[in-house]
Amino acid sequence: MRLFALVDCNNFYASCEKLFDPRLAGVPVVVLSNNDGCVVARSAEAKELGIAMGAPWFKIRAEAERAGVRALSSNYALYADLSNRVVEILRGFAPGIEVYSIDESFLDFSGFDLLTDPETFGAAVRRRVAEWLGLAVCVGFGPTKTLAKLANFCAKKGLAGTDGVCVIRRPDSPELDELLGRIPVEEVWGVGRRIAHRLTQKGIRSARDLRNADPAMIRSRFSVVLERTVRELAGTSCLALEEVLPDKRQIAVTRSFGSRVHKIGDLTDAIAHHASRAAGKLRAQNSVAALITVFARTSPFSDKDPWYSGSLALPLGEHSSDERRIVGLAARGVRGIYRPGFAYAKAGVVLSEIVPADKAPGDLFTDDEARERAVRLMSAMDAINARFGRGALRSAAVRAASGPWVMNQGSLSPAYTTSWEELPIARAL
């Protein structure tokens, strides 16, 4: 019998913020996306107030602040560090773990004796994360990943199970049948808005309806992906635990600007910055890329400003992760996409045709010695920046972050756990 668990942190970003700021206890808290654009996380109190996920902050700000809501800029240094700590704790519980997202992990207990029932085990996981980190998690167990995810949903919503733990043991039990009947089909993992709409038109409204659908029909009318979801709901495990996350095949760094950009110089600064970040991510996974795409666009929301979107794919000539090549080419590419007279709202850099550095095809004209020197230079640069901070040593094309393109972060909390200067201080009263 296979057994998966999905562990998911409650209101993760909002909980991380509350962890270090006692003034936020009991206060409705929302965390905003980059540029303080949209609500991407809400504390229980904020959900209670009916604040919607994804709501543009500028639209709801006045009303939310009247209701006492505190809004914070996203602090990814903090969330990533706490996420790693949660994962370390979970590793102590499970023989296999897949880190599925910053706040969710799948654990695989297939063929493993839990020594106790899953309910007790799940409670132990919750207790340890709460004691060691002060964060609340919910745990869902199921014979497939899709059912574990569903069990987690039920635990979170209090639909089944108790105290944040829900166990789906047998895919064919009458209790599960009843439960699935109460869950709308769009809550099933892999069913988004579009597919939910099409399914509903066919009379498939609940998770039970979807489980009972004919897999062959689903495959022909929808896709093989949805067919797998149907089979997983019925208890046949189709999705394996992916313990090692594969190298990225595409690396993107894109940002909305803090305010509109009009000048090519500012646009070039932004793109050079993003290219540098992307190249750093590329080297961090020990890969090289052959293609850079740069793009810039105006706001899709504005009725009065004319709309424009330009992008350009630039071959690097040979696979590379050399900061100088990537930043230089991206910055030159800006000349190809910039059109004067537009109010640019967003720009980005995408690296693709990525392969591991040791698998990069060479060609007759490759200067192996120069290439080797570049590799050593990049390692030295990355080592220096790791020690002295990002941007301590950089290409001259990457200027200090200033200008209209720099993103808004009106209310950024300290990097409590990753910077000596920002460690929280406890004082006796």
Partner DNA sequence: TCTGGGGTCCTAGGACCC
User: Encoding tokens for residue 353?
Assistant: 């045709």
Q: Which of 116, 120, 162, 250 binds DNA (CB under 7 A)?
A: 250
Asked whether position 238 contacts DNA by CB under 7 A, the answer is: no
Q: Looking at 85-93, 102-110, 171-179, 418-426, which segment touches DNA (CB under 7 A)?
A: 102-110
Q: How many CB atoms lie within 10 A of CB 107?
A: 24
User: Encoding tokens for residue 103?
Assistant: 């706040």
Asked whether position 256 contacts DNA by CB under 7 A, the answer is: yes
Asked whether position 179 contacts DNA by CB under 7 A, the answer is: no
User: Encoding tokens for residue 197?
Assistant: 């709409």
Span 359-378, contacts to DNA by CB under 7 A: none
Asked whether position 85 contacts DNA by CB under 7 A, the answer is: no
Listing DSSP states for 345-390 in one string gives: EEEEEEEES-EEGGG----TT--HHHHHHHHHHHHHHHHHHHHH-T
As measured in angstroms, the least distance from the Cβ of 115 to DNA is 30
Query: Going by DSSP bridges, is the β-strand pair 70-73/29-32 parallel, antiparallel, or unpaired?
Result: parallel
User: Encoding tokens for residue 77?
Assistant: 């240094």
CA distance 209 to 191: 13
User: Encoding tokens for residue 261?
Assistant: 């950009």
As measured in angstroms, the least distance from the Cβ of 353 to DNA is 9
User: Encoding tokens for residue 55?
Assistant: 């709501």
Tell me whether residue 40 or residue 87 sits nearer to DNA (CB atom): 40
The closest alpha carbon to 280, from 380, 407, 378, belongs to 378
Q: Looking at 17-25, 220-228, 361-369, 394-402, which segment touches DNA (CB under 7 A)?
A: 220-228
Asked whether position 200 contacts DNA by CB under 7 A, the answer is: no
Q: Looking at 35-43, 176-184, 233-241, 386-394, which segment touches DNA (CB under 7 A)?
A: 35-43
Phi, psi of 291 (to 5 degrees): -140, 135
Q: Looking at 109-117, 185-193, 316-324, 391-399, which segment touches DNA (CB under 7 A)?
A: 185-193
Q: Which of 130, 216, 225, 401 binds DNA (CB under 7 A)?
A: 225
Binding residues (CB under 7 A) for DNA: these are 33-35, 37-38, 40, 54, 56, 58, 100-104, 149, 189-196, 223-225, 246, 248-256, 259-260, 281, 299, 301-302, 345-346, 348, 407
